[in-house]
């Protein structure tokens, strides 16, 4: 597979909680002379500016022998260096577009957005315009904000058809601090999802490496034996039972591409109306024509997978204050839940 195709697939697979940072681990040569670590890394890593190295150090993202160091630390022979780098904005032709953005919080360092369904976060194959970044470029231009990069600095992503909260940094220093929190799994994230089937327990944990499917490169697959993919841990808790479907809360301990969707399918509970992971057909219920019509109506009300980024919490990159945000369920998902509540009441009455 060529590099262009791999990059295209990576863009298409940007999904809930998918972080945008790179973890590098390296060992200093035995014959290395003492040298400032910012100079050393700039000379030894391609396409990494000294400014990015210094921002990483300020954020606590550079460790030597498992201890955080400042940019003036002098490297020594056999030092083991671990770095978390954020990805710099890609040089791409992003023209400002007037796209509605639900901004729930903003200051000089961060902007928190409640993303609507159908909005792609950044340009990729088949989505060269109309993205969140195009909308941010218009918003920043309209408000005459003097930011380092005219469309912000991405820290994580959520999928086109996933709704809810996400954060964008407004400068490289803030991006580095937030990336550190994502890497340390200290970001607070809660998702609500409607999934097929009922559960024997009230809560549980799903573990299993996640990697790209060998059969369908658009999808991710769980590899439970760890022979491929990256470690993924998802905690779930039942919020409301409807018999044939269940409303769950999900807490991500890791942030792999399609993590909730792939893990849910793996345990036999695909997301309601998730076409990619088999949730767009009737998996639980009856064969009655009225029930089939009921499901079809639900799919028409919410023609996407039922996943919402409900809560987002982080430590502010400048003030150090704990920030916490909550968003209401979108109208289409709330309508479907109300239909299930009505259906459950009617079924219970018939059984009495």
Q: How far is CA 179 from CA 28, 73, 123, 207, in A?
A: 24, 22, 21, 23
- Whether 4 is catalytic is no
**Beta carbons of 86 and 179 less than 8 angstroms apart:** yes
Return the residue matching tokens 């201890």. 67
**What is the spatial distance between Cα 157 and Cα 11, in angstroms, rounded to a whole number?**
10
Q: How far is CA 258 from CA 140, 196, 197, 203, in A?
A: 30, 17, 20, 20
Q: Which helix (H) or strand (E) holds 183?
A: helix 172-183
Paired tokens of 65: 């022998």
**Beta carbons of 85 and 24 less than 8 angstroms apart:** yes
The catalytic residue among 159, 161, 274, 280 is 159
Q: Which helix (H) or strand (E) holds 296?
A: helix 289-301
Paired tokens of 347: 């079924």
**What is the spatial distance between Cα 35 and Cα 50, in angstroms, rounded to a whole number?**
14
**What is the spatial distance between Cα 214 and Cα 84, in angstroms, rounded to a whole number?**
29
Helices 37-44, 50-58: axis angle to 10 degrees equals 130
State the catalytic residues.
Answer: 159
């Amino acid at each position: 597979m060529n590099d262009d195709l791999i990059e295209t697939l990576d863009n298409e697979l940007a999904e809930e909680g998918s972080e945008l940072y790179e973890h590098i681990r390296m060992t200093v040569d035995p014959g290395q002379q003492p040298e400032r670590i910012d100079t050393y890394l700039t000379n030894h890593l391609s396409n990494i500016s000294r400014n990015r190295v210094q921002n990483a150090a300020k954020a606590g993202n550079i460790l030597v022998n498992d201890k955080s160091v400042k940019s003036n630390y002098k490297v020594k022979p056999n030092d083991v260096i671990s770095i978390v780098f954020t990805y710099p904005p890609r040089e791409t032709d992003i023209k400002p577009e007037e796209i509605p953005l639900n901004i729930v919080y903003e200051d000089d360092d961060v902007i928190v957005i409640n993303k609507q369904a159908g909005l792609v976060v950044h340009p990729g194959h088949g989505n060269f315009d109309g993205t969140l970044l195009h909308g941010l470029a218009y918003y920043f231009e309209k408000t005459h904000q003097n930011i380092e990069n005219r469309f912000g600095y991405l820290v994580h992503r959520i999928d086109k058809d996933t709704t809810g909260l996400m954060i964008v940094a407004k400068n490289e220093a803030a991006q580095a601090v937030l990336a550190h929190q994502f890497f340390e799994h200290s970001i607070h994230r809660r998702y609500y999802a409607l999934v097929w089937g009922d559960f024997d327990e009230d809560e549980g944990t799903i573990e299993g490496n996640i990697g790209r499917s060998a059969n369908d490169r658009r999808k991710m697959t769980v590899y439970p034996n760890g022979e491929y993919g990256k470690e993924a841990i998802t905690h779930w808790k039942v919020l409301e039972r409807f018999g044939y479907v269940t409303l769950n809360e999900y807490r991500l301990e890791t942030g792999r591409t399609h993590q909730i969707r792939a893990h849910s399918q793996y345990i036999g509970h695909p997301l309601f109306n998730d076409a990619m992971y088999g949730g767009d057909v009737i998996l639980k219920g009856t064969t009655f024509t009225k029930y089939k019509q009921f499901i079809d109506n639900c799919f028409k009300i919410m023609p996407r997978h039922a996943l919402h980024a409900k809560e987002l919490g982080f430590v502010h990159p400048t003030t150090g204050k704990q920030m916490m945000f909550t968003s209401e369920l979108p109208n289409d998902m709330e309508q479907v839940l109300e239909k299930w509540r009505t259906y459950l009441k009617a079924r219970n009455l018939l059984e009495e």
